[in-house]
Amino acid sequence: MITGLSLFCMILNCSVMSLWIYLLRTRTEYIPKYGFFVMKFLILSCIFRILIPFEIPGFRYSSVDVIFCSDAEKLLYSVLESSFSEEFFPFLFFLWISGSICYSTRLFVRSKKMLAFIEKNSYIADSRAKRILEEMDPDCPAVIRICPMITRSYLTGYLHLNIYLPEYHYDEEELYYIILHEYTHWKRKDIWKKALMIFCCIVIWWNPAIHFMRKEVSQLLEFECDKYLAENLSDEEVMNYLDTLLNCIRNAQCSLLDRSLDTFASFIGTSKIYMSKHRFQLLIGRNAESRRRIFPKAVPIILDMIWLINSYYFIPR
């Protein structure tokens, strides 16, 4: 059963969960120390709470006594707690669907124009880039193009795959690691994972928490891509990859075109200091022993499960 109160509680709880995920990722060294599993679990539980805003009949406890509420709070709770009437539900459903259609149409038109623009203002990369990609995987369908309008490398396209590189002078080693990064995104199907999050944003367009989760998933995919490709690299090669990553971060400028591409494309650079720091720490300590870190991993998961269950059980009234 969906009521105004259940939607209100969903937004409130997801906002708190989103804030917790943000603080855990940006204000601590959690990912470099303890890996991705906990962060993925927290993000998935928050997305689950967003997508399942129902109130479970018989599973509810009034956590606030109406006696201590002001008249305004009583009015708010009485309005929110009432079930949607047959007259109001079609209007709400129409508003929801209309918002999803408008959001998806705007996103599609903008991305179509943007991709057409960068394709028009780009050209096929030289034979070096093509040879490097073929040596990695001759079956990879990506076309490598150079675009002077961007400052970071991007992997775009679902059916017609393109790797766009900035118009910088790369030596052989830098070009290899940049293409390796984007190829790893393609191999891991990260662009489809971002598409899934975009779909969630289209469906739950009215909830700011899902848009925040989309950005968190995008950053998490960058972490996982780094770790995945580093598994087959030696320590010396990892340091060379980090040098390339550092150069990409220095060259990256958060232009309007770059911000638009970040929505649905996979990229190598990042402009936030804490993100760069965590990516470096993760790669440098990729072989660190983690068997003694079970407790720090378990605590956030247990707390998150308690919070998730209580978010359905304790309903303000």
Residue 223: the pLDDT is 83
Instruction: Give the Cα-Cα-Cα angle 11, 17, 20 (nearest 5 degrees).
Output: 145
Residue 282: the pLDDT is 73
Query: Of the given ranges (105-114, 157-166, 280-289), which has the lowest mean pLDDT?
Result: 280-289
Instruction: Answer with the residue of higher pLDDT: 55 or 266.
Output: 55
The mean predicted confidence, pLDDT, of the chain is: 77
pLDDT tens, residue by residue, 163-204:
999 888 888 999 999 999 999 999 999 888 888 888 888 888
